[in-house]
Amino acid sequence: MQLLRRIGLVLLWLAAPLVAFAALNKNDPYLLVLRGAGNIALVVASLLIVAVLLWRGHWRSIAGKLLVVLWCSPPVLMSAAHLKFELRKHGVLAAGAAEARQLGPHFMVGYSSFSEVARLAGQGLIGGVYVTRHNIRGRGIEALRAELAALQDVRRAAGLPPLVVAADQEGGIVGHLAPPLTKVPALATLAGLAPDEQQAKAEEFGRIHGSELAALGVNLNLAPVLDLKPPQRRNRLDFHTLIGQRAIATDPIVVSTIASAYVRGLEESGVGATLKHFPGIGRVRTDTHHFSASLDTPVKELEVSDWLPFREVLSHSRSALMVGHVTLTAVDPDRAASHSKRVVDGIIRDKWGYQGMVMTDDLVMGAIYQNDVCKAVVEALNAGVDMLLVAYDGAQFYRVFACALEGSRQGKLDAAMLRASETRLARSFPIEQARAAPSPIQLVETSPSRTGGSPVRGETRTRSR
């Protein structure tokens, strides 16, 4: 019995700093699973342990007193973290109308609470929302459709432009609203077909996604993936990017052919496409969901390979362009492409002449979030990025927007860049498409094909964007 008590005390000493750390960082994206009930459980467990330690008389020794103090700290630290969050949230919500309307259009946020996101939408603090599987879990698709329509009503009542509403329906392993929407095979399944068949099937897949998303009230799909399929096996620690399964092909011509047809199908249905993840993550072995990553390939080589599909599809579509958190070392070795002026303004805007909507990959990814978030936010806006995405953990919006707010108040934001971005957003296809009211959902039935059958219903496995 004495041995068991000693083991229990050792475990309490080891667990106390871990629980205190979790309490202090309760708002970190990595601890999202502990939000709500998890946080309450930590506090209750800490208080019960303190009660047991006091009951057994551990407070009589110095070591016992220290252990009791350690287990008293989680509730205190959690309260401090919550207070910090609430103060930051209050500061964002208290932003003036002029500040909100200047900065708000540049932010797209994922959400769990309708009332909370409706307030952000009504105050003009956001320009778009991102919906995914947790927005439909436990309820019907019609509930989400009504919710999105209600958000657009809030915008109209406030005299604001319609929201950009985005979803992540690539096909294959990434189909965050499928089911209940139709689960379409990955575009990579078309790579082995003849060019005419590739185009026909890809356009069909685009129409399936487009018609269902449009009926739901979604006007922007975060697809297709244009990264070239990596020739070698990726890092075994790559749990989320999974680009080997999501990329279409290794041949840029095949990627261009299939992606162009898919985009046509989307646009014919009234939904915009988003080409991702420029400058390309097919050659990168590190998962930017968790770590910084570098793309060391020379620009001349990228121009005749990885970048061909991006330029080809952008040249004859109204697609948006998503820039990833990979550092293009030959152009800007000091920052990720998503907030590099040399990449966004220098290559995409000036060299390519692209004046459509550029958006970041999710800022709640380790490559950005574990570094200087505020620096990245300010630099992205000054680089000419139009939309900053906060998708995985919508609560981080307050931190990200506070960075922009602080940058604006300190005169760090480029007013000319913001005006140019405002012009691009005003004429971009998602805003125009959003003005049309969604129609009732119609799930699309398709005939079997040589790619392995008709679209099916099934669960997806990745949080990738």
Long-range contacts of 97-102 (CB under 8 A, 24+ apart): 97/123, 97/124, 99/405, 99/408, 100/124, 100/125, 101/160, 102/408, 102/418
Q: Which of 58, 106, 176, 289 is catalytic?
A: 289
**Joined tokens for residue 342:** 């040399």
Annotated catalytic residue 361? yes
User: Which residues have CB under 8 Å from 323's CB, separation 6+?
Assistant: 277, 278, 279, 337, 338, 343, 344, 348, 358, 359, 360, 361, 385
Closest CA to 392 of 134, 87, 94: 134
- Counts for the chain of helices (H) and strands (E), in that order: 17, 12
Closest CA to 299 of 259, 328, 320: 328
Centre a 10 Å sphere on the Cβ of residue 182 and count the other Cβ atoms it contains. Answer: 23
Q: Tell me how long the chain is.
A: 465
Annotated catalytic residue 325? no
Residue 408 near residue 106 (C-beta atoms within 8 A):
no
User: Which residues have CB under 8 Å from 318's CB, separation 6+?
Assistant: 267, 272, 356, 428, 429
Q: How far apart are CA 259 and CA 243, in angstroms?
A: 16
Can you say whether the dihedral through the CA atoms of 167, 170, 175, 176 is positive or negative? negative
Per the DSSP assignment, residues forming a β-bridge with 276 are 225
Closest CA to 306 of 349, 240, 383, 251: 251
Residue 152 near residue 427 (C-beta atoms within 8 A):
no
Q: Which of 287, 361, 362, 393 is catalytic?
A: 361
Q: How far apart are CA 268 and CA 394, in angstroms?
A: 31
What is residue 190's DSSP assignment? G
Centre a 10 Å sphere on the Cβ of residue 224 and count the other Cβ atoms it contains. Answer: 33
CA distances from 192 to 187, 204, 249, 254 (A): 11, 17, 9, 9
- Three-state DSSP at 363 gives coil
Radius of gyration of the chain (CA): 24
Centre a 10 Å sphere on the Cβ of residue 356 and count the other Cβ atoms it contains. Answer: 18
Q: How far apart are CA 202 and CA 258, in angstroms?
A: 6
Which residues are the active-site residues? 289, 361
